[in-house]
Structure 1
Amino acid sequence: MGFFDKLKKITTNLFTTYTEADEAFFEELEETLILSDFGMEIAVETVEKLREKVRKEKLSSQEEVRAALREIIVDTLNVGTTEVNVSTSPCVFLFIGVNGVGKTTSIGKMANLLRYGGKKCLLCAADTFRAAAADQLEIWSQRAKADLIRQHEGADPGAVLFDALQAAKARGVDVVLCDTAGRLHNKANLMAELAKLSKIIDRECPGAARETLLVLDATTGQNGLVQAKTFKEAAGLTGIILTKLDGTAKGGIAVAIAKELGVPVKFAGVGEGIDDLRPFDSEEYAEAII
């Protein structure tokens, strides 16, 4: 299944209904983008850019207008590299996000993807607050044929990460993938916890390449943008993983995140299988939109 099949169906209908870029077309396009989770402001801005491009370049055919819209969407999405940094061994990926978004499963799928790229991975069960989080991660570690470091439920997450980094250095691991708590009592606690993990990485693996990846459920729409803003303030982000794009997701949240946060979407989860995590392709996404 390709990206954003539902969104593709909606917008394809729009382009077949209108044969010219008149005001009725622009109004319906704006409404469609809003309903597709672009958000009001970004939908309006996108349509204004298209309207201006059509006027300046005297675009008339449906294909010309489609190509112009595709270009605008790709430009909005391209806010940074979509490649993950694996330039050191070990390097460390911190996975952050609220409970229920598919964080643990994304870690397993990422480990599998990296393994096929020739990387030796180790999973770190530092979400010690959620019942059975480590058990779930252990299942995925087995599926991805990756080592796992875990402790008992309620253990200090920093201690688990410390053990994982020591094991990674001893075992010649390329990538440490660290699960983190998805829910703490308040934002201050969250910031303190993530800051502590960051300090441990700096101390134990100075100079290690780092990724801080926020996992977002695409079906949450604009609520996902609120989550992203909170986590960016708490931890800083290098990229986004959008999950559940195979379900009822409208997908436009990817554009909203790129525009509002300046953080690239790096991966998309499009199914439940271990191979269903794919590098995010802005060209493919834009093609689906239009």
Structure 2
Amino acid sequence: MDKRTRADLFRKRLAEAMNAQGCSKSELARLARVDRSTIGQLLKDDHPRLPNAQLAADAAQALNVSADWLLGLTNRPETPGDLVAAAMSLSPAERSSADAQLLEWHHEAAGYKVRHVPATLPDILKTEAMLDWEYATSRREHLPDAFDAMRDQLDWLASGVSDYEIAIPLHEIEACAAGSAYYKTAPKAARHAQLRFIADQCDEMFPRLRIFLFDAQRVFSSPVTIFGPNLAVLYVGQCYLAFRELERVKSLTNHFDWLVREAEVDARHVAAHIRALLPS
């Protein structure tokens, strides 16, 4: 970009930022500690000029935009700190399908494929009996909301608004069937009914619902949900770590696709695999 082109772009972007902030020439001059005539010269369209580095930085700070954007070095007007905050953020996690933040993200992803690696079994497919057992020792007052939210999400999935792919470790299904590890205290009837429900949903909603089972001894994943192409969320316990920067979302999408490629049980065979673990 030659000097005149850059100067013209600076003039246009400076005027745009001033209009967005409702900032007059006099006010910007005061904030940038220069004469009003200096700001006027920067805004003249017949002889555009570039400011010195100090004035460019002061004007950008006063208008809450990036100096790089004013100078045509980037197309994002946000300051670097704001860009980082937008690209990666922490949100409180309730670990419940009734979590308002989770519901908001699901609606935001309407029309896109949702890819999900759950912390246990997927909340969207949990039965009332399984939720009742999970909420027995804490958060029991939230159980009705959680079950209503689960049913709403299942109805949303059945409507075909978005495709849903879920990757689950084989050992999670096996532990639920056997009543071991996390499911050691869960009633047998609740465990087996839960797995039959998942198998039934696999049959009824394929291909918009596809579940893949992977061997965690060979491949590994933390709990993660990728809401279309613009948002990926890691569950880390008491909070969600959300990424909106394109390359980070792509990386986590590629990670999920790797889980699918390495799956021991393909989506077409998951229902049969689950039923084989249960008594006839």
TM-score by length of 1: 0.30
Instruction: Work out which of the two has the higher radius of gyration on C-alpha atoms and give 1 or 2.
Output: 2
TM-score by length of 2: 0.31
Larger relative contact order (Cα-Cα within 8 Å, sequence gap ≥ 6)? 1
